Amino acid sequence: MREPRDGTKTDRTSKSTPSPASFPLILDIDDFKGDFSFDALFGNLVNELLPSFKVEAESDGADSLPNGHMRAPSSDASKFSQTASSPLFPDVEKLLSLFKDSCKELLELRKQIDGRLYNLKKDVSVQDSKHRKTLGELEKGVDGLFDSFARLDSRISSVGQTAAKIGDHLQSADAQRETASQTIELIKYLMEFNSSPGDLMELSPLFSDDSRVAEAASIAQKLRSFAEEDIGRHGITTAVGNATASRGLEVAVANLQDYCNELENRLLSRFDAASQKRELTTMAECAKILSQFNRGTSAMQHYVATRPMFIDVEVMNADTRLVLGDQAAQASPSNVTRGLSSLYKEITDTVRKEAATITAVFPSPSEVMSILVQRVLEQRITALLDKLLVKPSLVNLPSVEEGGLLLYLRMLAVAYEKTQELARDLRAVGCGDLDVEGLTESLFSSHKDEYHEYEQASLRQLYKVKIEELRAESQISDSSGTIGRSKGASVASSQQQISVTVVTEFVRWNEEAISRCNLFSSQPATLATNVKAVFTSLLDQVSQYIADGLERARDSLTEAANLRERFVLGTSVSRRVAAAAASAAEAAAAAGESSFRSFMVAVQRSGSSVAIIQQYFANSISRLLLPVDGAHAASCEEMATAMSSAEAAAYKGLQQCIETVMAEVERLLSAEQKATDYRSPDDGMAPDHRATTACARVVAYLSRVLESAFTALEGLNKQAFLSELGNRLHKVLLNHWQKYTFNPSGGLRLKRDITEYGEFVRSFNAPSVDEKFELLGIMANVFIVAPESLSTLFEGTPSIRKDAQRFIQLREDYKSAKLASKLSSLWA
């Protein structure tokens, strides 16, 4: 920025040409370079002309507006008047002139800039043309260079292929040379072995140098293979020359076989010596060399066979003592379990240690481990199992005191389960390609083939022993409890009662047998077959036990019935005999009542036992039978068939129970019912409206004795039993009342008795029985109403006229009132 107007401007060099007016420059191009600010440019233009304004602007910067103007003061009236009288900017003319000159210089500067830009564009265009020309020439050069590289690469590839072919030919030639050299050596060695039969003394030092045993073994195996193949090729030829050649090679083969055997034995001896000293490096060297003889099979088998656990008899004896104890006959499954766990852990640890040695010594450790594990199972485990599992005879069963068949089965299960665990542990340690699980199964094949037969025989043996035990307990109880007990009371107690606990024990035996079926049966179909056979044994046991128990309970009912018949007397007996007979009849009645209760208890326990079997089948058996088509349905049918015999015994026994109850009802009615009960004298006294003594005794007896029936029976069985009992009671009462004559007051007592009987049988919940006793109440009215009202008594119930006619004949005035003729004419 230059100082204009005061005549003291500073000279400077400028590239721009002065305007024709030749006024000094105010602006310069440099003023617009860098960070241009219009405010700064404007300030530089006016600050020289307005120094006072600059000071005022700096002091009153807060009063300036954003556009550069000053705020006019508004509070001082005197200043306003002064401003109005004098101009605000006295140097405005200078500023206007300055601004006009600045605009002219700005236009001039713009022209200069435009000229420079034009010149620069021309220079850039020229340079761009030159650059494009240079780039085109470079592209042509690069394309030519690429073509040269492609030709060079093709040439290099061709030279490389030629070199590779030359290398292959050289390698092939070298291999042929090496093969020829080896062949010459082998032929030389073969001629040595072919010199004379059995002569190994003239061999090269190679075959006797212990430091070159590996090389000698390799060469001997090659010579042997070559000679054997040559013999095989010429074995079918009958020409003389070929035969002679074959005989010569046969000599070599024989000598080589002898040498290989001698070398193999020598290596095995060295291997044994190193094994005793635990020199693993020497053992590994020997094993590597021996692997050339039959793939090292002899070395592997030799190593396994020399393990102490296979050759030390004391090890075998220690196994037996550990598992069976000092006295094998007293071994228990729990002790055997602990013994097998300890022994199998020891065997696993031993095999694991051997595995470490085998891995460090043999080139093919998995094959050695396969031989080792197979030897463990076939020798050591088999020897132990032969002593542990002695299969008993199914003809002469071992006694229960000796454990019976159950002990054998439990031992078999323990041994099988633990041996399976051992097989899994050995598989984890490593056993090569050996099917250790299949081999383990084969150890028990002879036992598993007849397993289900032994299981069923064991269940039969347990059942037989249990029944004998219960029978003995019952006899002991009878002999100790009969003294001081009446004959009637001892009838029912002398019989062994069904026990749910015993049935639960049968189920527990079966559960244990099923668990063994699961253990021994790997295939679902085999498992289902065995389970079905074992469950059938349970059905036979429970069916037989329940049926026998019900039959015994029926026997007590039969014996009570025999007692009743024994004391039935005629009419013409003495008072003393009648009293004795009555006492005996009471005892027989007590025996009948006790037998009734016992049979109801037997029925209740039979139902509980059947429910236990059904629940056991649903929870444990049915799912195991599903894999075999029809097995589940067949077992359900067998279960129904097995319980049919028990159902038949229960049905017969319930019929006997009804007979027993009815017999006692008849006895009570005969003993307690008096003729005066229904024909009280007309003495002017008020009639007795209470139930008769016979009725009270019968109802009390029925309430007492049927209490056990209400508890024991359920569902349809209970309904059928009570309905039959109600019908029989109705029939007995009808027959009983036919023996008596009734007057009106007696008819009222009869009606009271019928009401008592009806209220009692209402607890049977049998509508047909309730209806019969309601009709009895209606028929009892025939004794109460006047003769002339009888015709209208049954107008609403014509179905009971026949029974009503029989009742009417029992009226005291039946003959005197000539009711027979009246009713016959009326009903006709």
Whether pLDDT at 568 is above 60: no
Higher pLDDT, 600 or 495: 600
For residue 534, count CB atoms less than 10 angstroms from its CB and return exposed for 0-12, middle for 13-18, buried for 19 or more. buried
Whether pLDDT at 658 is above 90: yes
Higher pLDDT, 654 or 232: 654
Specify the pTM. Answer: 0.66
Higher pLDDT, 810 or 800: 810
Whether pLDDT at 567 is above 90: no
Span of 200-204, 366-370, 435-439, 510-514 with lowest mean pLDDT? 200-204
* Non-local CB neighbours of 16 within 8 Å, separated by 6+ positions: 25, 29, 108, 109, 112
Could you tell me which of 343, 361, 183, 334 has the C-alpha nearest to residue 271? 361
DSSP per-residue string spanning 792-824: HHTSS-GGGHHHHHHHHTTBTTTTTTTHHHHHH
What percent of the chain is helix, strand and coil (3-state, nearest 5)?
A: 80, 0, 20
Q: What percent of the chain has pLDDT over 70?
A: 74
pLDDT band at 21 (very low <50, low <70, confident <90, very high): very low
Output phi, psi for 498, to 5 deg: -65, 140
3-state SS class at 404: helix
Token representation of residue 570: 């005629």
pLDDT band at 71 (very low <50, low <70, confident <90, very high): very low
Paired residues of 454 in beta bridges = none
Higher pLDDT, 418 or 813: 418
Q: What is the pLDDT of residues 22-69, one digit of tens each?
A: 445 677 777 777 777 777 777 777 777 766 555 555 555 444 444 444
Compute the distance between CA of residue 344 and CA of residue 416 in angstroms, rounded to an integer.
Answer: 12
Amino acid 484: pLDDT: 43
Residue whose pair of structure tokens reads 């043309």 in the numeric block: 129
Whether pLDDT at 76 is above 50: no
Paired residues of 64 in beta bridges = 70
Neighbours of 129 (CB within 10 A): 10
**Mean pLDDT of all residues belonging to the chain:** 79
Q: What is the pLDDT of residues 513-555, one digit of tens each?
A: 999 999 998 889 889 999 999 999 999 999 999 999 999 999 8
Whether pLDDT at 315 is above 50: yes
Could you tell me which of 366, 384, 365, 368 has the C-alpha nearest to residue 422? 384
Amino acid 101: pLDDT: 83
The amino acid present at 259, given as its one-letter code, is Y
Amino acid 92: pLDDT: 75
pLDDT band at 655 (very low <50, low <70, confident <90, very high): very high
Whether pLDDT at 580 is above 70: no
Amino acid 40: pLDDT: 77
Q: What percent of the chain has pLDDT over 90?
A: 31
Whether pLDDT at 338 is above 60: yes
Residue whose pair of structure tokens reads 């590289």 in the numeric block: 149
Compute the distance between CA of residue 189 and CA of residue 187 in angstroms, rounded to an integer.
Answer: 5
Whether pLDDT at 346 is above 90: yes
Amino acid 257: pLDDT: 65
Output phi, psi for 811, to 5 deg: -70, 145
Amino acid 287: pLDDT: 82
Amino acid 127: pLDDT: 92
Higher pLDDT, 749 or 257: 749
Q: What is the pLDDT of residues 269-296, one digit of tens each?
A: 788 888 888 888 888 878 887 777 767 6
Amino acid 311: pLDDT: 84
pLDDT band at 576 (very low <50, low <70, confident <90, very high): low
H-helix segments, 209-279: 213-234, 240-276
Whether pLDDT at 349 is above 90: yes
Amino acid 5: pLDDT: 42
Paired residues of 811 in beta bridges = 742
